[in-house]
């Protein structure tokens, strides 16, 4: 695939995913998922949306930062919970993360050509906040302060174990019981449910990076 064609496909996929997130109350995980790997996940199918090819990654991030709270749609929040607007550094993290929706998964990937789970998290925090995180998920799970699942806020890191060997997957909590992550080979950066479905049972812990 040429650079021009890749750019067009990437932009269309990213904004299609953003529009889907804004319009749908919650992404549903399949009841069962077979063959889940270290960076595995369900992912909603994406439709294609026409967008100016000249829109850069930075432009998308700025656009999303100006209206990030519109993208976190109520749907799975408990009835007695109160929505908290995303502001400041957490807003910067989410804006950068949302701008990467639709980027393909690539094992060992750390750039917009493709990410694995920890590569995506590292890229977002480096470019949004100038924070350098460890390269792999199990080491990122030692970063910052551990937080209770009930106290999660946007920008926190959520960690999972898909095998018996400990932490092997990471994503960024976006609020409303959802997190953004790079799933596995054949999938794109997407949003999944944390409070139900496959990932609910694989959750291990959450960490808050200093400054969020």
Q: Which residue has the higher pLDDT, 53 or 109?
A: 109
As a whole number of angstroms, the distance between CA 30 and CA 16 comes to 21
Give the confidence band of 64 by pLDDT, cuts at 50, 70, 90.
Answer: low
Taking residues 20-29, report their average pLDDT.
34
In terms of Cα–Cα distance, which of 175, 210, 190 is closest to 29?
Answer: 190
Tell me what the pLDDT averaged over the chain comes to.
74
State the pLDDT at residue 49: 34
Instruction: Report the range of poorest mean pLDDT among 6-15, 101-110, 163-172, 196-205.
Output: 6-15
Give the confidence band of 36 by pLDDT, cuts at 50, 70, 90.
Answer: very low
> DSSP label at 162?
S
pLDDT > 80? residue 37: no
State the pLDDT at residue 90: 93
Q: What is the pLDDT of residues 129-171, one digit of tens each?
A: 999 999 999 999 999 999 999 999 999 999 999 987 799 999 9
Handedness of CA 202, 119, 95, 54 (dihedral sign): negative
Residues annotated catalytic, as ranges: 117, 169, 181
Q: Is 78 helix (H, G, I), strand (E, B) or coil?
A: coil
pLDDT > 50? residue 13: no
pLDDT > 60? residue 196: yes
- Note the Cα 60 to chain centre separation in Å: 15
Taking residues 93-101, report their average pLDDT.
95
As a whole number of angstroms, the distance between CA 100 and CA 182 comes to 10
Give the confidence band of 5 by pLDDT, cuts at 50, 70, 90.
Answer: very low
Are residues 28 and 197 in contact, defined by beta-carbon separation less than 8 angstroms? yes
Domains of the chain, earliest start first? 3-73+83-208 (3.90.1720.10)
Give the confidence band of 211 by pLDDT, cuts at 50, 70, 90.
Answer: confident
Q: Which residue has the tokens 């040429």?
A: 2
- pTM of the complete model: 0.68
């Amino acid at each position: 695939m040429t650079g021009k064609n890749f750019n067009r496909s990437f932009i269309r996929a990213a904004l299609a995913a953003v529009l889907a997130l804004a319009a749908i109350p919650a992404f549903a995980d399949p009841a069962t998922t077979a063959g889940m790997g270290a960076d595995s996940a369900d992912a909603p199918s994406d439709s294609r949306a026409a967008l100016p090819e000249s829109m850069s990654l930075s432009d998308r991030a700025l656009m999303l930062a100006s209206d990030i709270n519109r993208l976190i749609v109520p749907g799975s929040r408990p009835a007695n919970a109160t929505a908290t607007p995303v502001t400041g550094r957490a807003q910067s993290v989410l804006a950068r993360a949302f701008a990467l929706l639709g980027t393909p998964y690539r094992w060992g990937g750390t750039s917009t050509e493709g990410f694995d789970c920890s590569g995506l998290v590292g890229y977002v925090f480096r470019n949004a906040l100038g924070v350098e995180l460890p390269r792999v998920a199990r080491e990122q799970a030692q970063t910052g302060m551990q937080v209770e699942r009930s106290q999660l806020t946007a920008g926190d890191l959520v960690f999972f174990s898909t095998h018996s060997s400990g932490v092997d997957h990471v994503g960024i909590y976006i609020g409303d019981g959802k997190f953004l992550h790079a799933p596995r080979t054949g999938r794109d950066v997407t949003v999944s449910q944390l409070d139900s479905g496959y990932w609910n049972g694989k959750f291990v812990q959450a960490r808050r990076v200093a400054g969020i």
